[in-house]
Structure 1
Amino acid sequence: MKPVSQTAWYCCGVRMTDAESKNPLTGDAYAKLFMGDEGLAYWQEFRHFKAPVASNIARHYLIDAGLQELLARQQASTVILVGAGFDSRAFRFNTGEWIEIDEPAVIERKNEILPPIKCSNMLTRIAIDFTTEKLSDKLAPYSTRENIIIVLEGVLMYLTDAEKKTLLDTLTALFPKHHLFCDIMSRYFFDKVGHRIHKHFAMHGSPFKDLHAIQEALYLSYGYTLIDVQSTIRTASGKGIFPAPKFIVRMLPKKLVDGFNVYHFAYNRQVLLHQ
C-alpha cells in the first residue's frame, strides 16, 4: 500500500490491542481480521509505544461515543469516513448509513475481508487516489442528503494547511449542514512527546505536517461551531489505560494534556448567512 495508507495498519493494531485487553474500551473484534501478516509485521514496530497507543485507543473511543450519541438522536444519518482505513464501525454500530472512502488497496482488502453485503447497515465503500482524484467528485452524489456526519480520524496531521483548506472547502460547499468529528494535535504536543513515534511514521513516508498552537482555529474560521472537545490523554488516564499514574497526569502541563484532542464541530451555512 502507499505510505500514508500504511498508517491504517497502526490504527488497526491499536484497536486490535484494545480488543485483546482485559477491559476493552471499543472492543473492535474485527480489527485483527484486517491485519494479516503484513499488518502484524508493521505493527511490531509500534506496539511498544504505550502512551501513543493508549491515546489512540481513547481517540477511537471518544469518536465512537460522539457518534453513538448523535446517531441516537438522528438514526437516519449518513456517516462519511474520509480516509477510513480499516474502520469497522459500520459493522459494530446498529444504525446509520455508512460511506467509507480510502485508497484502492485499503478498499480492496476491506471488501475481501468484510464485504459490504455482510453488513447489517447500508454500507458503501469508495476507492479514491487522493493524489489524482478529487474528493468532491466522490462525495457529490451525497450532497442532497440530510443528517450528514463526517469523520476524519487520524487524517489531519498528515495534511498541509493548503490540503486542509481544500478539504474544508469541499465539505462546506457540498454539505451546507453537517457534523464533523476529528482529532487534532498541537505543535506543542508534537514537540514535547509526539515526535518520538513520528520518527517511525516519517521513515515509512508519512510525516506530520503544519501543526499549530491553536488546534481549532482553522475550523472556526470556516464557520464551524465547536460542540465538544475531549483530551485523549485525560480520557486514557481516566479509563485506566494510560501508562502513568493518574496523579502524574494531573501534574502535567495543561498544554500537553490538552494537546491531542477529539473535536466535535457543527456546520450550518444557513445560520452563517443570517449572522
Structure 2
Amino acid sequence: MKAVSKTAYYCGGVRMQDAESAKPLIGDHYAKRLLGKEGIAYWEEFKQFTRPNAGNTARHYLIDSLIKKELAAHPDATIILIGAGLDSRAYRLDGGKWIEIDEEAIIAHKNNTLPINECKNPLERIPIDFEKEKLADKLQPYSGRPHVVFIVEGVLMYLTDEQRNAMLTVLTTLFPSHVLFCDLMNKGFFEKFSGEIYQKLLENGAIFKDISDEPDRIFIAKGYKKRSVTGMPQAIHDLGLIRLPWFVRKFVFGKLINGYAVYHFTYGL
C-alpha cells in the first residue's frame, strides 16, 4: 500500500477512537474492522495528536451532515468518493448509490474486510492506479446520472496544483452539474498549526504539495460556486470535541479560523 494510501489508517483510527468514546459523534463501528492489525499499529503513532485528531473527527462529521442533507432531498443521488480510503458511509448512511474509487490495494483491503454484499445501499468499488490510469475513464460510465455528489476528503493536500486542476477538469467536463464536498487547508494554517502532525506524516512517507494562500481559488476559476465554508477550529469547539476559549479562537487562530475547513461547492446548480 502506498504511503499516501496508508494515511487512510490514520483517518480510520480517528473514527475508531470516536466510536469507542463515551459519546460518539460519528459512531463509525466499521472503522476498527476496516483498520485490521496493520491499521491499528499505524494509528498508534498518531493517537497523541489531540487537536489534529479532533479536527479530523469534526471534518468527517461535517461532511456526513452535508451528505445527509443531500440524501434527504435526493434519496437516489449518486455519491462518488475519489480517494475513498477506509470510508464506510455507504454502510452507515441511508440512501444513495455509492461509488468508491481508490488505489487497488485499498480496494482489495476493503473488499476483504468489509464486503460489498454487506452494504445496505448500492455500492461499487473501482480500483485505479492514479499515476497510470485516467480518472475520466473510470467516471465516464456515470456521467449521465441525474444528481451526483463528489466527496474528496483528506486527499487534495497530497496533490499538486496540476493534479488538482486535472481532476476538476474531468469533473466539470463529465458532470455539467454536481455537488462537491472537500477539505482545504491554506498556507498560513499549515505553517502555523500543522507542524507536529505533518512531521509524523512525513516520517510515514506522505507529503503535502503546493499548499497555497487561497486553495479555493482553483475551484472558483473552474466555475464552482462556494456554498459554505466551516472552519475546523470553530467546529471542534462547537461540537464539544475540545473547548477553545474565545480569546484562543480570536487571537490564536484569528484570520486563520477558516484556514482549514470543509467546503461545500456546486457546479452548474
In 1, the alpha carbon distance for the partners of 2:34 and 2:100 equals 15
Q: Does residue 1:12 correspond to 2:12, yes or no?
A: yes
Deviations 1:140-191 (CA, angstroms, capped at 9, x unpaired):
1001111000000000000000000010011111101000000000100000
Confirm whether residue 76 of structure 1 aligns to residue 59 of structure 2: no
Residue 98 of structure 1 corresponds to 98
Q: Distance in 2 between matches of 1:29 and 1:250?
A: 36
Which 4+ residue blocks in structure 1 deviate beyond 3 angstroms?
Answer: 243-247
Measured in 1, the distance between the counterparts of 2:246 and 2:12 equals 26
Q: Secondary structure at the match of 2:194?
A: helix
Cα deviation, residue 242, structure 1: 2.0
**1:15 Cα shift?**
0.7
TM-score with structure 2 length normalisation?
A: 0.97
After TM superposition, the structure 1 stretch with the greater mean CA deviation from structure 2, 76-85 or 247-256, is 247-256
Identity of aligned residues (%): 48
Aligned length: 269
Counterpart residue number, 1:189:
189
Q: Partners of 1:6 and 1:123 in 2: how far apart?
A: 22
Indicate if the aligned counterparts of 2:229 and 2:258 stay in contact, CA closer than 8 A.
Answer: no
Change in Cα spacing, 1:243 to 1:7, as seen in structure 2 (3 Å) is farther
Shift of 1:244: 4.3
Whether 2:136 is the aligned partner of 1:136: answer yes
Q: Distance in 1 between matches of 2:154 and 2:172?
A: 20
Worse overlay, 79-88 or 201-210? 201-210
Residue identity matched to 1:146: P
CA distance in 2, matches of 1:25, 1:9: 19
Whether the aligned pair in 1 keeps the contact of 2:183 and 2:260 (CA below 8 Å) is: yes
Aligned-CA RMSD value? 1.2
Query: 2:208 matched to which residue of 1?
Result: 208
Residue 207 (structure 2) pairs with residue 225 (structure 1): no
What displacement does 1:243 show? 6.3
Residue 119 of structure 1 aligns with which residue?
119
Q: Quote the residue 1:237 is aligned against.
A: 237
Deviations 1:28-67 (A, max 9, x none): 1100101111111111111100000000100000000000
Contiguous gaps of at least 5 residues in structure 2: none
Matches of 1:25 and 1:246 in 2, distance apart? 23
For residues 114 and 259 of structure 1, what CA distance do their matches in structure 2 show?
35
Whole-Å Cα distance in 1 between the matches of residues 166 and 206 of structure 2? 19
Please give the per-residue CA displacement for 1:81-120, whole angstroms capped at 9, x wherever unaligned: 0000000000001100000001111111111111111111
CA distance in 2, matches of 1:257, 1:49: 19
Q: Distance in 1 between matches of 2:242 and 2:256?
A: 14
Quick one: distance in 2 between partners of 1:120 and 1:246? 43
Contact kept? 2:34, 2:86, Cα under 8 Å: yes
Q: TM-score, normalised by structure 1?
A: 0.95
Offset, 1:252: 2.6
The SS at the match of 1:72 is helix
Instruction: Check 1:107–1:176 CA distance in 2 against 1; reply closer, same or farther (3 A cut).
Output: same
Structure-2 separation of matches of 1:244 and 1:46: 21
Q: Name structure 1 gaps, 5 residues minimum.
A: none
- Measured in 1, the distance between the counterparts of 2:264 and 2:257 equals 18
